[in-house]
């Protein structure tokens, strides 16, 4: 990969300007009113791919948000790498905690700030620029496809059907994804496992209208009190999830593998300090990294009901709501878990309320074996730019589509992430260090090189 460092160095400011154009598009997939922005993002991506050297790039309609597909086929006999990424971003609430406009990116303290700076606009854009370099310097060693979707943050709802319908078009030997983080700055890692996800919205209805808490309080079940009671019953004092059958398909990781995982550097005091918590809390008998990597979780992502405005309103509300999610481990089926929760949650509802459970989305977990040639190519690429072999880690996050790719297309994915935990993805002040951005662009072409070499 000759001239790579020079190419990046000479085009630094242009790369940044182009990325900023992408970051300015408010492509929030979970909010219906941002639909036009999804189309703007899709149009932008076709331009990015064509400008970088793709033979073609086009926008595909789905029943939801559009999907962009582009490719450059140099020789049908050569292997094909498919880059998967997403152009949608998370909402920006709570907006008042941002120090700058989430959709007016800026560089401060060596970091790009803005919604999507890391997840996944910043990370996916590195692939466009690495591809541009290989094309322009005639060093592209294989065929490349780009699949950029617009619903990753809402569970990739329409992508499985798209994959079913375009199996030929999406045919590839490996899928390359940058949507994960490294352990720490200078300590590269490759995510070899992802948690699955089940996500529900629950509605608890008590009386048919908001009541005066004095006149009725004490005699009529309060749906907020009931919802709190029900949620508190979902986990026990040992941090175990109490849904019957929930752990049935969880494969206990061997002591040997747990020992290997424990070698990854981890500073628990630093972790607590960074989050400003006095004590960590999770399932008894597991370390922090195990709790997020190899064990499922149960989190209320949102709750609301009754009077939430200024001052004191004495009301016994009619309804209470919660958004609840479970991160699942490989081999737990998200649809089965979704059903188990619904069944259990409804079964523990007292007769004084009505409970409605809606499954919002889900995805399966994923495991990538570390003896895969593509994994080893990624390993060498990281080592080339960081001078350090990456650690294989299990991530707590979910990219539901990764396991779907394996099911439908029969292709493994390599999760070659360059994010950092301090990037505050999904949070106010999301950011992406410039160093990660440029080093990522440098590492990616080596993946292509080593991967193609391993195939010859």
Q: Which residue from 80, 124, 297, 404 is in contact with its own copies, where contact means CB under 8 A?
A: 297
Rule CB under 8 A: is residue 216 a binding residue for its own copies? yes
Judged by CB under 8 A, how many residues of this single chain contact its own copies?
102
By beta-carbon proximity to its own copies, the closer residue of 322 and 444 is 322
Among 310, 371, 387, 456, interactor with its own copies by CB under 8 A: 310
> How far is the C-alpha of 223 from the C-alpha of 287, rounded, in Å?
36
CA pair distance 418, 381, nearest whole angstrom: 12
Work out the end-to-end distance of the chain between its first and last CA atoms, rounded to an integer number of angstroms.
Answer: 18
Using an 8 Å Cβ cutoff, are 66 and 39 in contact?
Answer: yes
**Which residue has 């590839």 as its token pair?**
172
Residues in 325-354 at the binding interface with its own copies, rule: CB under 8 A: 325, 327, 350-353
In 3D, which of 78, 88, 56, 51 has the Cα closest to residue 179?
A: 88
Binding residue for its own copies (CB under 8 A) from 249, 283, 333, 346? 283
Burial profile 96-118: b = 16 or more Cβ within 10 angstroms, e = fewer: eebeeebbebeeeeebbbbbbbb
How many Cα atoms within 13 Å fall on the side-chain side of residue 333? 6
Rule CB under 8 A: choose which of 72, 361, 394, 412 binds its own copies: 361
Q: Which is nearer to its own copies, 59 or 303 (CB)?
A: 303
Asked if 211 touches its own copies (CB under 8 A), the answer is yes
Nearest to 122 by CA among 382, 442, 398, 419: 419
Structure tokens at 53: 């050297």
Stretch that binds its own copies, among 73-81, 121-129, 164-172, 212-220 (CB under 8 A): 212-220
Q: What's the maximum distance between 2 C-alpha atoms anywhere in the chain?
A: 80
Q: In the bound complex, what is the minimum distance in angstroms from residue 199's beta carbon to its own copies?
A: 5
Would you count residue 218 as binding its own copies (CB under 8 A)? yes
Task: Identify residues 145-204 at the interface with its own copies (CB under 8 A).
Answer: 153-155, 181, 195, 197, 199, 201
Stretch touching its own copies by CB under 8 A, among 11-19, 35-43, 60-68, 427-435? 427-435
Query: Could you say whether residue 424 binds its own copies (CB under 8 A)?
Result: yes
Out of 292, 403, 436, 439, name the contact with its own copies by CB under 8 A.
292
- How far apart CA 405 and CA 156 sit, in angstroms, is 11
Tell whether residue 253 is a contact of its own copies (CB under 8 A): no
DSSP string over 19-50: HHHHHTS--BTTSGGGHHHHHHHHHHHHHHHH
Using CB under 8 A, pick the residue from 53, 160, 185, 282 that binds its own copies.
282
Instruction: Render 141-162 in DSSP notation, one character per residue.
Output: -SEEEEEEES-GGGT-TTHHHH
Instruction: Pick between residue 17 and residue 314 the one whose CB is nearest to its own copies.
Output: 314
Given 62, 139, 171, 427, the residue binding its own copies (CB under 8 A): 427
Q: Where does this chain touch its own copies (CB under 8 A) — which range of 23-31, 45-53, 404-412, 441-449?
A: 23-31
**Sole binder of its own copies in the list 426, 434, 454, 455 (CB under 8 A):** 426
- C-beta closer to its own copies: residue 397 or 440: 397
Cα gap 294→286, rounded to integer Å? 9
Among 309, 307, 285, 283, CA closest to 297: 283
- By CB under 8 A, tell whether 360 contacts its own copies: yes
């Amino acid at each position: 990969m000759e001239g790579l460092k020079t190419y990046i160095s000479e085009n630094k400011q242009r790369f940044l300007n182009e990325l900023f154009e992408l970051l300015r598009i408010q492509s929030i997939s979970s909010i219906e009113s941002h639909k036009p922005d999804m189309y703007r993002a899709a149009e932008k991506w076709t331009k990015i791919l064509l400008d970088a050297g793709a033979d073609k790039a086009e926008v595909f309609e789905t029943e939801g948000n559009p999907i962009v597909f582009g490719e450059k086929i140099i020789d049908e006999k050569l292997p094909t790498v498919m880059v998967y990424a997403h152009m949608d971003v998370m909402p920006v609430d709570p907006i008042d905690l941002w120090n700058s406009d989430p959709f007016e990116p800026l560089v401060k303290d060596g970091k790009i700030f803005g919604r999507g700076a890391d997840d996944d606009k910043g990370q996916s854009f590195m692939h466009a620029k690495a591809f541009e370099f290989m094309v322009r310097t005639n060093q592209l060693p294989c065929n490349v496809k780009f699949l950029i979707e617009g619903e990753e943050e809402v569970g990739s709802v329409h992508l499985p059907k798209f994959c079913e319908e375009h199996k030929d078009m999406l045919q590839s030997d490996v899928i390359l994804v940058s949507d994960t983080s490294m352990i720490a700055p200078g300590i590269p890692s490759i995510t070899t496992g992802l948690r699955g996800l089940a996500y529900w919205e629950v509605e608890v209805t008590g009386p048919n209208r908001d009541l005066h808490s004095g006149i009725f309080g004490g005699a009529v079940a309060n749906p907020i009190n009931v919802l709190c009671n029900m949620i508190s019953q979902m986990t026990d004092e040992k941090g175990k999830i109490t849904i019957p059958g929930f752990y049935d398909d969880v494969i206990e990781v061997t002591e040997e593998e747990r020992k290997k995982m424990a070698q990854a550097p981890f500073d628990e005091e630093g972790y607590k300090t960074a989050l400003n918590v006095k004590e960590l809390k999770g399932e008894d008998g597991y370390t922090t990294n195990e709790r997020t990597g190899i064990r499922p979780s149960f989190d209320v992502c949102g709750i609301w009901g009754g009077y939430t405005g200024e001052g004191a309103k004495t009301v016994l509300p009619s309804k209470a709501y919660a958004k609840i999610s479970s991160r699942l481990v490989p081999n737990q089926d998200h649809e089965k878990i979704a059903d188990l929760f619904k069944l259990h949650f409804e079964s523990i509802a007292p007769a004084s309320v009505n409970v409605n459970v809606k499954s919002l989305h889900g995805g399966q977990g994923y495991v990538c074996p570390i003896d895969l040639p593509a994994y080893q190519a990624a390993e060498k690429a990281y080592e080339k730019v960081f001078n350090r072999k990456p650690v294989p880690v299990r991530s707590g996050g979910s990219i539901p589509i990764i396991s779907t790719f394996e099911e439908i297309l029969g292709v493994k994915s390599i999760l070659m992430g360059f994010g950092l935990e301090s990037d505050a993805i999904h949070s106010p002040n999301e950011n992406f260090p410039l160093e990660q951005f440029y080093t990522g662009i440098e590492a990616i072409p080596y993946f292509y090189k080593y991967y193609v070499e391993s195939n010859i």
